[in-house]
Amino acid sequence: MKKILIIEDEKPMARALQLKLEKEGFQVENAYDGIEALKYIENNKYDLILTDLVLAKIDGFEIIKNIRSKGIKTPIIVASNLSQAEDEKKVMELGANHYFIKSDTPIVSIIENIKNFLK
């Protein structure tokens, strides 16, 4: 079973993603801030990480940087409401694999994208 980490501080959003992904047969864990996320990543292996950028304690940019600096190759998808082209460019340069603007992307599309990544 493929394992996904969702890093999202908006609990209703995290829960909605978790329920939909579990329904698709994935094992899902939620982290609600950057420090919690990095602890999960240190102690578990994931097939995919879905992260927001605006988070408490440590932001998504730092999380991506931290993951890639450790040589972890896990695909990272960013779902954020930061809609500036520079933000997208920066996360891609840091090593993210895909970028969504949450307000423009239905959850169904995010789920489909995750399924395609994990095929």
Q: Which helix or strand (DSSP H or E) is residue 25 part of?
A: none
Fold of 3-117: Rossmann fold (3.40.50)
Residue spans of the domains in the chain: they are: 3-117
pLDDT at 119 over 90: no
Please tell me the distance from the alpha carbon of residue 71 to that of residue 62, in angstroms, as a whole number: 14
Average pLDDT, the chain: 96
Distances (CA, A) of 84 to 9, 20, 25, 87, 89: 20, 28, 33, 5, 9
Q: Provide the percentage of residues in the chain whose pLDDT is more than 70.
A: 100
Sign of the C-alpha dihedral, residues 84, 85, 91, 93? Answer: negative
- Which pLDDT tens digit goes with each residue over 26-38? 999 999 999 999 9
- Which pLDDT tens digit goes with each residue over 58-85? 999 999 999 999 999 999 999 999 889 9
